[in-house]
Structure 1
Amino acid sequence: MLVLPAEVTQSQAETCLALLRTAARASREGEIVIDAAPLERFDSSALAVLLECRRDCLADGKRFAVAGMPPRLAELAALYGVANLLATQAPEPAPTPD
């Protein structure tokens, strides 16, 4: 699972996209899941980063999903009409102590 940083705004978008692209291309997994739960500060650039990652993954023959999308980001995706492109995946539950 790839993880977004706490902040993705226009000033961080290019660097964030480059890091995610590199990691996604290096992955041998058939599905790339990006964990968006750490996002605290973001603008529409975060959606642009996710959509570009999705485009790259699909071009590489990989499935793409976003886990832990913050509600505000989901609302923004719906507002822009791209929510259906960012398939969401429920976050994995934390392991319970035995």
Structure 2
Amino acid sequence: GNGLAPLAVRGPNTGTITSIRGDVSSQFISSLLISSAVKEGDTDIALTTPLRSRPYVDITREMMRRFGAEFQETADGFRVPGGQRYRPQD
């Protein structure tokens, strides 16, 4: 590989459903979870393979919760409610 993320982002994130392998780096999954919370609409993230890095996704969940955002687990991945805001912390 070239050390770059296997995706390109152009324009606003307006999608409502995305699929990603669960055995890739948890950084890709975490970035989708974190960024999807501030979109206007809800986002469903479907994992196409079993989640390998659950502890890191759990850390992402706790960080998001501390800053005022959340997501839910679904049968095949995650659902992130849109329209959330992150609250600054001291």
**TM-score interval, smaller chain:** 0.3 to 0.5
Query: With structure 2 as the length reference, what TM-score do the two structures score?
Result: 0.46
Query: With structure 1 as the length reference, what TM-score do the two structures score?
Result: 0.44
